[in-house]
């Protein structure tokens, strides 16, 4: 079930938001602590969906500033008025239980006993759950703050062990996945904001995204999980691309962003969730290799993985960036001695900016096609090391004007959203006979490409490479090739709203 909290200060706004939320949510949470002089009777009379009444004190992250007696009195009144649910904090539940008001025989109200931790996800969740489940409440709620992605696994384990209905997830950016995957995790419900700015807790995603990107209502216990490992991940368009492909191609699968700091911890802990496949992005494409069970020979040669497939519990790494970039370059670079597509890059002088995961994939692909590659990277030792592995040249940024360049490739994040006015190379170094390829796809046209256009260069943005690699990735996971045109359409809509 999906619950929308009502975050409004006046009765009129509460009733308006309740009506709007009731069209899409299964349950509405009325936050009395936000409302000035709440008319509880009127609010409950106007409900068309089950309602949770909450009156959160400041100590538990709420807004109620009156006395504890007043706060509890409002919750007792909610029970007398037959609210569907009342949420009562774990350290206040005895006030409800001690009185005759609690669960009078005629009351239909279900009691939710809640524990919130805004600092961390403690290790003793099971003992907290056991304590709370002995209070006599109908439903237990345990909400913690995730300081790292693996905190979600603590919540997953708790939900797997719980005997009675339990609402549990992590707050904060690292905890978003526990909110999205609530059915797979086994939580009684999840919360979603009515719209941006109406969040009642950190990390709460909005109902539109939950329903339309993540198709939360279609999620089942056996929905296959896929996801993106990276940091940052919040601006990636991969969740929209892969979730739309899953929907359009009738897969019972979901794709979520995993914000990962420590890839070793992540891979080890998330094996338990049986994630069926991953995309890998900045900065983990190289470091992830050491934590997989097998690596495809090309990915091994490149030394970078951007795709992981779970084959019966064994995590196998692949690289779809290499073929994707070369294909995009061959499509645009029509100059060739023989006319054969495979020869289009032969003998061409390519200057490659960057020596990270993407640069490694592109450098090996170019070398295989017979291009003359020169690596230029901020960290000179890294450029040297990649050039040695590939068998090509390497130079310093200062040497750029002297390097013969037919094709210039940016494989650094310089110019990527939100730093859209940055460029890795001075405009004057771009010459009209060059092809300039920026691997960045957000924005679709970077400052580097805008400069290159004004200098008369032929330009190639990162989108064709992105489409090629996403299609290859989807095929590796599912065995089905998605139509590239569909990926292009979804990406365009997401990036430019067309
Ligand atoms: P990565 O492994 O983290 O490598 C980043 C590279 O960029 C490193 O060589 C790093 O240099 C360099 N760099 C970072 N910040 C820099 C700065 N401020 N100035 C100069 N150099 C800088 O990342 P990656 O996975 O290779 O991704 C790199 C780029 O490729 C990203 O923009 C990404 O969007 C793009 N990409 C696009 C696609 C696509 O499908 N279109 C696919 C993959 C990647 P140091 O070694 O000095 O740190």
DSSP letters, 182-228, are HHHHT-S-EE-BSSTT--SSTTPPBHHIIIIIS-GGG--TTPEEEEE
Please choose from 241, 413, 448 the residue to mutate so as to test ligand 1's pocket, defined by most ligand atoms within 8 A of CB.
413
pLDDT of residue 498: 58
Report how far ligand 1's centroid is from the alpha carbon of 464 (Å). Answer: 17
Of 141, 198, 447, 494, the active-site residue reads 141
pLDDT of residue 334: 66
Residue 404 neighbours by CB distance under 10 Å: 9
The domain locations on the chain are 2-221, 230-319+468-496, 323-461
Q: Does domain 230-319+468-496 have CATH number 3.30.930.10?
A: no
| Same fold across 2-221 and 323-461 | no
Report how far ligand 1's centroid is from the alpha carbon of 377 (Å). Answer: 10
Residues whose CB is less than 8 angstroms from the CB of residue 123 and which lie 6 or more positions away in sequence, other chains included: 154
> Which residue is it, tokens 């190379």?
425
- Asked if residue 285 has its Cβ within 6 Å of ligand 1, the reply is yes
- Asked if residue 359 has its Cβ within 6 Å of ligand 1, the reply is yes
Q: Does domain 2-221 have CATH number 3.40.50.880?
A: no
- To the query of whether residue 116 is one of the catalytic residues in this protein, the response is yes
pLDDT of residue 337: 45
Q: Are 474 and 490 in contact (CB under 8 A)?
A: no
Q: Are 223 and 253 in contact (CB under 8 A)?
A: yes
Report how far ligand 1's centroid is from the alpha carbon of 425 (Å). Answer: 14
- Asked if residue 444 has its Cβ within 6 Å of ligand 1, the reply is no
CA distance 349 to 192: 52
**pTM of structure:** 0.90
HSE-up of residue 389 (Cα within 13 Å, Cβ side): 21
- From first to last of its 498 residues, the chain has per-residue pLDDT tens of 999 999 999 999 999 999 999 999 999 999 999 998 899 999 999 999 999 999 999 988 899 999 999 999 999 999 999 999 999 998 888 777 766 444 555 578 999 999 999 999 999 999 999 999 998 899 999 999 999 999 999 999 999 999 999 999 999 999 999 999 999 999 999 999 999 999 999 999 999 999 999 999 899 989 999 999 999 998 899 999 999 999 999 999 999 999 999 999 999 999 999 999 999 999 999 999 999 999 999 999 999 999 999 999 999 999 999 999 999 999 987 654 456 667 789 999 999 999 998 999 999 999 999 999 999 999 999 999 999 999 999 999 999 999 999 999 999 999 999 999 999 999 999 999 999 999 999 999 999 999 999 999 999 999 999 999 999 999 999 999 999 999 999 999 988 875
Report how far ligand 1's centroid is from the alpha carbon of 285 (Å). Answer: 10
Residues whose CB is less than 8 angstroms from the CB of residue 388 and which lie 6 or more positions away in sequence, other chains included: none
- Asked if residue 414 has its Cβ within 6 Å of ligand 1, the reply is yes
Superfamily for the 323-461 domain:
NAD(P)-binding Rossmann-like Domain (3.40.50.720)
- Asked if residue 413 has its Cβ within 6 Å of ligand 1, the reply is yes
CA distance 189 to 191: 7
- To the query of whether residue 103 is one of the catalytic residues in this protein, the response is no
Omega of the bond leading into 443 within 30 degrees of 0 (cis): yes
pLDDT of residue 93: 81
Please choose from 354, 377, 419 the residue to mutate so as to test ligand 1's pocket, defined by most ligand atoms within 8 A of CB.
354
């Amino acid at each position: 079930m999906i619950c929308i909290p009502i975050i409004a200060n006046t009765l009129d706004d509460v009733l308006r938001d309740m009506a709007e939320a009731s069209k899409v949510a299964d349950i509405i949470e009325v936050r009395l602590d936000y409302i000035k002089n709440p008319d509880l009777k009127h609010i409950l009379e106007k409900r068309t969906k089950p309602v949770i009444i909450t009156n959160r004190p400041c100590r538990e992250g709420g807004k109620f500033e009156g006395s504890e007696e007043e706060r509890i009195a409002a919750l007792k009144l909610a029970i007398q008025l037959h609210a569907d649910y009342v949420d009562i904090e774990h350290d206040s539940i005895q006030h409800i239980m001690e009185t005759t008001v609690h669960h009078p025989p005629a009351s239909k109200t279900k009691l939710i006993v809640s524990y919130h931790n805004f600092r961390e996800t403690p290790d003793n969740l099971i003992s907290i759950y056991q304590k709370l489940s002995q209070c006599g409440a109908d439903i237990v709620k345990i909400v913690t703050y995730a300081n790292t992605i693996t905190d979600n696994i603590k919540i997953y384990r708790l939900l797997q062990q719980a005997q009675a209905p339990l609402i549990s997830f992590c707050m904060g950016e690292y905890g978003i996945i526990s909110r999205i995957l609530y059915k797979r995790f086994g939580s009684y419900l999840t919360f979603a904001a009515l719209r941006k700015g109406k969040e009642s807790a950190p990390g709460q995603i909005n109902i539109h995204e939950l329903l339309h990107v993540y198709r939360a209502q279609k999620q089942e216990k056996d929905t296959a999980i896929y996801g993106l490992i990276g940091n940052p991940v919040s601006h990636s368009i991969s969740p929209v691309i892969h979730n739309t492909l899953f929907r359009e191609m009738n897969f019972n699968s979901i794709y979520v962003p995993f914000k990962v700091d420590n890839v070793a911890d992540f891979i080890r802990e998330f094996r338990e969730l049986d994630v069926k496949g991953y995309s890998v992005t900045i900065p983990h494409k190289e470091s992830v290799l050491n934590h997989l069970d097998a690596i495809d020979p090309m990915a091994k040669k490149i030394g970078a993985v951007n795709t992981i497939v779970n084959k019966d519990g064994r995590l196998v790494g692949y690289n779809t960036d290499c073929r994707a970039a070369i294909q995009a370059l061959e499509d645009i670079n029509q100059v060739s001695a023989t006319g054969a597509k495979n020869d289009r890059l032969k003998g061409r002088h390519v200057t490659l900016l960057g020596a990270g995961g993407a640069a490694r994939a592109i450098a090996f692909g170019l070398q295989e096609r017979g291009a003359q590659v020169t690596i230029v990277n901020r960290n000179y030792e890294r450029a040297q090391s990649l050039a040695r592995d590939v068998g090509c040249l390497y130079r310093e940024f200062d040497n750029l004007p002297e390097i013969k360049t037919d094709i210039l490739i940016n494989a650094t994040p310089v110019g990527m959203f939100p730093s859209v006015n940055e460029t890795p190379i001075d405009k004057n170094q771009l010459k009209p006979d060059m092809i300039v390829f920026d691997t960045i796809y957000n924005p679709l046209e970077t400052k580097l490409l805008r400069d290159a256009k004004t200098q008369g260069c032929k330009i190639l943005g990162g989108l064709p490479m992105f489409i090629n690699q996403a299609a290859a990735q989807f095929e590796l996971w599912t065995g089905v090739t998605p139509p590239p045109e569909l990926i292009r359409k979804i990406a365009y809509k997401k990036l430019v709203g067309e």
